[in-house]
Structure 1
Amino acid sequence: MAERRSQGQGGDGDAARLLLAAARERFSVAATDLLLPSEARLTEWQRLTAAALLIRLVRTIEDALRARLAEHFADHDGLHAAFSSAHVAIAQPVLERAQVLRDAELGTVLVRRVEEHRFWKENARSDDGSEEYLLDLVRDHDAGIASDAMALMIARSRRFDQFNEPVMGETELPAEIQHRLVWMIAAALRQYMVQQHGLASGRADAAIAAVAGELIASYDEGASLEACSVRLARRLARAGRLDDAVLQLILEDGLLPLFIAAIGVRAGLDYPAAWEVLSDPRGRGPALLLRAAEVERDQAAGILLVLNSRGRMFSGAEGNAAARQLDLFEATDEAAARDVLRLWQVDPGYRAAVARLSTRARSVAEAA
């Protein structure tokens, strides 16, 4: 076994900053246009799937707003007919022409969703893709665990259409992103009402404020798959049932969101932070995350093998990633790994600022 080293000392003291900058740079590029360069390592299928998810997500929110607006304008024949027509998109063309859907945070969620689905597809092809662990939890003697497991199963069912292709409803977004998207779509509908139907802007604004505010008020971020996964992971941890073997079993069963939540609970990270570290484009994140979570070597090796065989986003740029990651795992002690990941335990706004400055400094240095 390689001698462990402290990554918090000497030349490795900036490991956390570099890891964060690389992850944020990768997702910034990946999320902005959903037109990813080759180094982002997304396939054409993943890009098209992300774009399709965005279209369906926008249409879902648009339909919810239009249904409310149709009732609001029951006395306006033209608007009532337009909003009641399910076959004609109104907001989507306006938003595409204005190019206002290039939201990096929204794009990051879409990229996560696409990779989760691809991971699920890889698991479905494997011999152990039965997801029996989650079914066992639904039947668990602990009523709280059984209830949280059932909520997770229901949330998972919303992720697939009748052909097992990915879908994404508005309940899958963080509240802040969902609110921004609702107001953006509402603004597009407002433009349509004023410009195409000559509606007085004051009346349009009053209607939009009412229906969009109602939709936002009814939103429950706690129903998302990620939130359900975190609740279940925390409950398992409180019950002393989130050991190394369970982590490996969760991943082998293809339950990637639950694994991310569980490893985050073990390492003291929230869900977005655990995902960001796990998907480090240079491939070091998984090893550091497992070491910080104090996973034993045998289970860590098994987890790294699954991540690299079914989740190419977790393997880094070079081949033989699992072996390299295991070497890093063995060479890094728990304290050093936790020190590297301490940056992911602070406010996300601070992480974003550190990432922007680090990326900018590197760009300046490369140009010099």
Structure 2
Amino acid sequence: MDEKQLNIGFYITGHGFGHATRATVTIHRLLTLGHRVTIISSTPTFIYQDLLSTFPHTCALRNIATLDPGVAQKDAVTVDVDVTMDRLRTFLDGMEGVAQQEAEWMRGEGLDVVCLDAPFLPARVAKEVGIPSVMITNFTFDAIFDAIALTPSDKALVARCAEMYTHTSYLIRIPGHISIPAFTAHPSRIIDVPLIVRKSKLTRDNVRAILDIPLTAPCVLITFGGFELSHSDGDNPQHVLPDGWYGLIASPRADTALSRRLRRICAEKWYMPDLINAADVVVGKCGYGTCSEVVAHGVPLVYVPRSGFAEEEGLVENLMKPYGYAVQMPQRHFYEGRWEPYILQAAAMKKKYTPRAIDCDGEVEASRIVVDLARGRRL
């Protein structure tokens, strides 16, 4: 006898594309297994468009802008501490209306399980409604807030976030993780899985042919997860590119040729793993999406350290260094456009050593855990 189709709510923070892009991999697996998934997020719809088109009867999207406060940034690599803590305070003070809304929706949908990457409020709501929940992540936002919280009142806000995370039934922990406070005292509720990551669909040669980049020419991809680069960030072909290199700047804006070898391309029109696979070096920040995808495709990364973002240490030490190629560019050189030596250093790394291999099929195990939890099976 076939088991019934599960009804799954998948909550995804809208703060950082890496949460959404990796979640699509697990969601695709769950949909392929025949289950129904509703995505709840404020992330731009284009990230989920392939899922919505491929599974029109079993995949739905609820776009909610008030789900979690996230982290505010001054620019592509700098956290705005004051705005972040103000947003967190405002969210926590007014969250009961959101909690009531989500409780009513969960009950009305008859959800079998709630997945989270990685908002904290839905974890509390799911527990109150009586629905099992599972966090699928490499970090939780209480750890991020705690790293920048300076005053006792700010620390009290962080404690409220941390408490809500404790209502989650299990944590599916993925590589590149940092300490996740809600689970440190409950290791039996932590299940480690391999890397959950998007893979390229087009070959390197196909992408380069479309973009009119010679197959043998070195190429750098510049991507900062939806953040636009200003002129002071190095949007200058004379400074950005080493001699003979081609460059692509992933941007929210329309395609624009900045010079013969440097162009801005609209990120929404492209599947980022295809661009990464076609590049020789990527320049960006250490977010999960970029780090996991360069590791999966064996492409070196030049990263600019992000001020005040605790996730970075886990991604660098636990993902990039053992399994990838990484070169740090100081923020000062990033803003001055002095990128060339770092790009060349990163490109040379592939000729010097081969990093450790890493499994890239974590969505298979993660989906099995989600299904088993929803069906009440022993994990």
**TM-score calculated relative to the size of structure 2:** 0.25
- Structure of greater relative contact order (alpha carbons < 8 Å, 6+ residues apart): 1
Higher strand share: 2
Larger radius of gyration: 1
Higher helix share: 1
**TM-score calculated relative to the size of structure 1:** 0.25
